Chains A and B, each alone.
Chain A
Amino acid sequence: GAVVSQHPSRVICKSGTSVKIECRSLDFQATTMFWYRQFPKKSLMLMATSNEGSKATYEQGVEKDKFLINHASLTLSTLTVTSAHPEDSSFYICSARPYLAANTEAFFGQGTRLTVV
């Protein structure tokens, strides 16, 4: 099946620094990728929709200047958490669906555990 690779799987950073998370579709192209945040024992909250070659669409309440999204190619989207604070510590997951196939499921990355100290 299709594979979405997310890197890094785990990162610890200091408050005030920025962290970049990569999401790659390894064997398919995706014009759209999605970024989620998951709190402990909670469901996935959609943060933003990443659009190849254009600006990302952010969900209500998500700070676009804090969570920078870039979708430079059909196989790569990045999420940068800028000026990270301890409250940004969370599990971040990306997903993508092959854009040439109809009604396919979404494929998810392995997730990134971010800890801000």
Chain B
Amino acid sequence: AQSVTQLDSHVSVSEGTPVLLRCNYSSSYSPSLFWYVQHPNKGLQLLLKYTSAATLVKGINGFEAEFKKSETSFHLTKPSAHMSDAAEYFCVVSYGSGNTGKLIFGQGTTLQVKP
């Protein structure tokens, strides 16, 4: 069965320090992988996506993620956290045929950024 695991439910960093949000997936074939961010009472915004092209993916707001097949991981990083990065982050895997495939969400990681 396909699944996504976000290893940390809560991450706290100081402003200006690096951010690492961890995500592991299980799959019997190569999935498409996404990271979304959600601010309180809002919808989800795409940060970046991996669709079997380059394994290092750059996204918006300075975020990037690296797809490592051998480790079945897709961790999200940012060199320097900003206060506005505080939000809920979801690692998402897409399975199935084309754009009708289901999205499987990780449990979410709350990022807290301290001044």
- Max count, chain A CB within 10 A of own CB: residue among B44, B103, B106: B44
Docked complex: A43-95 residues within 8 A CB-CB of B:
43-46, 49, 91, 93, 95
Q: Which of B19-27, B71-79, B94-102 contacts A (4 or more CB under 8 A)?
A: B94-102
In the complex formed, the residue of B with least CB distance to A98 is B99
Q: Is B41 on the interface with A (CB-CB < 8 A)?
A: yes
Chain B, interface SS category: strand
We find that the number of chain A residues with CB closer than 8 angstroms to chain B is: 31
Quick one: which of A4, A45, A99, A109 contacts B99, CB cutoff 8 A? A99
Check B7 for interface membership: any CB of A closer than 8 A: no
**Number of residues of chain B lying within 8 A (CB) of chain A:** 25
Q: Kindly state the separation between the CA atoms of A113 and B103 in the bound complex, as whole angstroms.
A: 21
* Chain A minimum-CB-distance residue to B32: A103
Q: Are A34 and B102 in contact (CB under 8 A)?
A: yes
Q: How far is the CB of A13 from chain B (nearest CB, A)?
A: 18
Verify B44–A43 contact, CB threshold 8 A.
no
Contact B102 A93 (CB under 8 A): no
Residue B46 at the chain A interface, CB threshold 8 Å: yes
CB distance from B22 to the nearest CB of A (A): 15
Asked if residues B90 and A44 are in contact (CB atoms below 8 Å), the reply is: yes
A interface residues with partner B (beta carbon < 8 Å):
4, 6, 30-32, 34, 41-46, 49, 91, 93, 95, 97-99, 101-111, 113
